[in-house]
Structure formats: structure tokens, C-alpha cells
Amino acid sequence: MPVETVVHRDGRPAVDTLQDAHPLGCAAPVLDEEPRGAGLWLAAIVGHGHPLRTFLTGVALSFVSIATLSILLGLLVTRVIVRHGGIDGTDESLVRFLADHRSGGLTDASLVGSILAGGVVLPIVVGVCGALAALFKQWRLGAFLIFALAVESGAYRATTLLVHRQRPQVHRLEDLPANASYPSGHTAASIAVYCGLALLLTSRISKLAPRVLIWTIAAAIPVYVAFARMYRGMHHPLDIAGGVVIGIAVLAAIVLVSRASGLAAAERDER
């Protein structure tokens, strides 16, 4: 089947939808858009026509960049904002309020929120999605979710090794290291996975109503998780904010890397 060639106004070939340009296109159009800026730079430094090398290099650079950003923000929070800004009590006031109003039903609900973004459920969700993607040979689709969770987890672990903040001074409902309050890994992971899924799904849907519904659910889950973690006495609001930064940064980075590897695959096929 002949492939229609689209040309930009300046005469450059367009690859706005890479699945139309090569047979390895992704089932999620958001990953097939033409990379710009950093995405083009990534494809160029690795060498044109090497999608796997481009993807792995991009993942490594993403981890280093996001971990560095998270650590610097963590040091800013713990050594400047909290220590000299006089807001430590304010940052803990919401957690104390939630702890003072605990009930059996709310405690059970908070456990559900923690489990949704915990170390058991998320790997299962990502593993199932990865297996389905592999079944249909949608390699970038599966790699997107797998490495989004991996980069998030790695950046979170790196941050907790270097940034130490005591958890809120309330009765905690979980037995985790007391000095690993910053950032909220559960919040970051819920954004990376559930909002990542929403991004992939809605990129294939043109109707507004289902797009709004999917994004409403996807956005509500991290909010639910965040309040669950504070309710259980595990994080301050600033820790939650740190998790939000990691989660959003991971999604943006892996989208960029996926687009760059898609461009590399298209260039390889053209050769």
C-alpha cells in the first residue's frame, strides 16, 4: 500500500503520525507524534535509525534528570523551606487534622488508597498491560508503562537515600522508615501509571465525554492516594507535592523518549 507523504510548509517531511510512516507504529497516537526539541536531540546523539538504543539512552537520561531534580527539590524543602521557613507546623497541620478524625471506615478507605498505588497492585497493572502490548507487538506501548514505573521508582529511591525528613508526628498506620517522608512515592507512582494509562487511552478517543470521564478518574486516583497517605500519617503535604513533581516529570520524559524512538524506527525502516 503506498504511503502518503506529508510535507511541512518549510519543505521538511512530516512524521506527525509515525504509524503511517512505518509498520511499527504504536496503538497510542500520543507516542507517535513528531518529536521536537529534546526529542530530536535525543534521536540525533544516539545515531539515526536505532530505536532500541534511543529508547534505553532516553530512559537512562530521564532517570538521572528526574532523580537530580527530585533530590534538589527535597534538599530545598528539608534544609531551607522547613528548617528556616517556619512552616513545619503548618505543613503538618492537615495530617494532624486527618489523624484526629480517624474512623474505622475512613481507615479502611485509606488502606484501599495505599494499596491502589502500592508495590503489589501497580506492578500487576503494568505487567498485565505490558503482556497485552507484547501480545499485539506494541513494544513502545508496553515499554512506556513499564519504564514509567521503573523511572519513578528509581528516582524515588534515589531521593530517599539522600533526603531525610521525619514523617509526621502522629500515630502512623504503617511500619515504614521514619525518616523517609519526602517524597510521596505512592503519589508519584499513581500519576505515572494511572495518568499514563489515561494518556494512552484518550489519545485514541476523539469524543469529549469519554475523554473527560477517563481523565476525571485518572486524576481522582492520585488525589485519593495522596489523602490516604496523609491520613495514615506517612507524609506531609510538601511530600505529596514532591511526589506530584516526580510523577508528572516521568510522564513527560517517557512520552518524549517514546516519540524519539518512534522517529528512529521510522528512519530505520526508510533506510
Residue 44 domain flag: no
Task: Using alpha carbons, select from 260, 200, 201 the residue that is nearest to residue 34.
Answer: 260
Q: Domain of 100: which CATH number?
A: 1.20.144
Task: Using alpha carbons, select from 157, 144, 100, 121 the residue that is nearest to residue 259.
Answer: 144
Domains in the chain: how many in total? 1
pLDDT tens, position by position, 177-208: 999 999 999 999 999 999 999 999 999 999 99
Residue found under cell 514532591: 242
Residue 68 domain flag: yes
Q: How confident is the model at residue 27 (pLDDT cuts 50, 70, 90)?
A: confident
Residue 42 domain flag: no
Return the higher-pLDDT residue of 269 and 62: 62
DSSP 48: T
Residue 266 domain flag: no
**Beta bridge partner(s), residue 84:** none
**Beta bridge partner(s), residue 7:** 13
* Calpha distance 118→116 (Å, rounded): 6
Q: How confident is the model at residue 37 (pLDDT cuts 50, 70, 90)?
A: confident
Residue 13, pLDDT score: 43
Q: How confident is the model at residue 25 (pLDDT cuts 50, 70, 90)?
A: low
* Calpha distance 200→209 (Å, rounded): 16
DSSP 12: P
Which residue range is the domain that position 175 belongs to?
A: 61-260
Does residue 83 carry a pLDDT above 50? yes
Residue type, 234: M
Residue 20 domain flag: no
C-alpha cell at 56: 534505553
* Calpha distance 74→177 (Å, rounded): 17
Per-position b or e across 98-133, b if 16+ CB within 10 A of its CB: bbeebeeeeeeebbebbebbbeeebbebbeebbeeb
Burial class (CB in 10 A: 0-12, 13-18, 19+), 9: exposed
Peptide bond into 183 cis (omega under 30): yes
Q: How confident is the model at residue 21 (pLDDT cuts 50, 70, 90)?
A: very low
- Percent of the residues in the chain that have a pLDDT greater than 70, as a whole number: 90
Task: Estimate the share of the chain in helix, then strand, then coil, as percent rounded to the nearest 5.
Answer: 70, 0, 30
* Calpha distance 184→246 (Å, rounded): 9
Residue 189 domain flag: yes
What is the average per-residue pLDDT within 63-85? Answer: 94
Q: Residue 180: phi, psi to the nearest 5?
A: -115, 45
Q: Residue 88: phi, psi to the nearest 5?
A: -60, -45
Residue 126 domain flag: yes
Residue 50 domain flag: no
Any residues with CB less than 8 A from the CB of 94 and at least 6 apart, and which?
A: 230, 237
